Every structure is written in C-alpha cells, then in structure tokens.
Amino acid sequence: MIVRNLEEARQSERLVKAENGNWDSTRLLLASDNGGFSFHITRIYEGTETHIHYKHHYEAVFCMEGEGEVETLADGKIWPIKPGDIYILDQHDEHLLRASKTMHLACVFTPPITGTEVHREDGSYAPADD
C-alpha cells in the first residue's frame, strides 16, 4: 500500500518544473514504485504553448480544471479541452498543447517515467532504458 499527498509532494523533489516555465508536474507514482505506469498532477500555465511528442511513451491526460486545446500536427486538428475531458496519445501523436486558462491535469504514462524527465528538443522524454 502506498499513500501520498499532493501538497506534501509539491514540497519535495517530486515537483518538477519545465525549463521554459510552461508547466510543472508533481510525480506521485514513478517507475521505482514498480507499478508499470506513472501518475502525475500537471499544471499547464495560462497563455503557454508546449510542443510535445512522446515517442517512447503512451500518455492519458484527464483535465480537472482550466481550459485549453491540443493541436495534432499530423492533421492540424484542434481539440478543445475542458474539465471532464480525457485525451489519449495512443498514436504517440506529436502535438501542441495550449492553455487559455491554467489547466490542472491528471496524467498517466506507460512505461512509467523515472521522475526527473523534462521535454527534450524533439518534445519527447528519454526512453526508460536510456
């Protein structure tokens, strides 16, 4: 059994901030917990645009608060996102994530991330065995 608290985790190294200041993410469950997935609470700050391309991970993102949109680059489609929506990058979709109102997201990654990942130049996180 594991119990963790978001506010407590935000006071620790579990809180990771994007180098460009666009988002932060509190990694509540990680590869070291051996569950086969990781679970994060992410804030995407209002007025930001982030290029993301998880080539080595599958991610599901549930919006709890805020407002924004995802633009999938392969087809130029815009997907408005509001509380209650979930989007799933089942095709390792390259996309732009924009927040018009700071978004609070619950994110699940498989394979799990190790904890310190931030986006590389190409929008990806390093694969688990890197």
Binding site for ligand 9YT (CB under 6 A): 23, 25, 40, 42, 52, 59, 61, 97, 105, 107
Stated as kind and residue range, the H or E segment containing 10 is: helix 6-10
For ligand 9YT, which is the closer residue by CB, 5 or 99? 99
How far is CA 128 from each of CA 14, 36, 47, 104, 122, rounded to the nearest angstrom? 18, 11, 31, 25, 16
For ligand 9YT, which is the closer residue by CB, 29 or 105? 105
Shortest Å, Cβ 22 to ligand 9YT: 8
Shortest Å, Cβ 40 to ligand 9YT: 4
Q: Is the dihedral of CA 39, 27, 89, 69 positive or negative?
A: positive
For ligand 9YT, which is the closer residue by CB, 11 or 118? 118
For ligand 9YT, which is the closer residue by CB, 1 or 62? 62
Nearest to 106, CA basis, from 87, 128, 80: 87
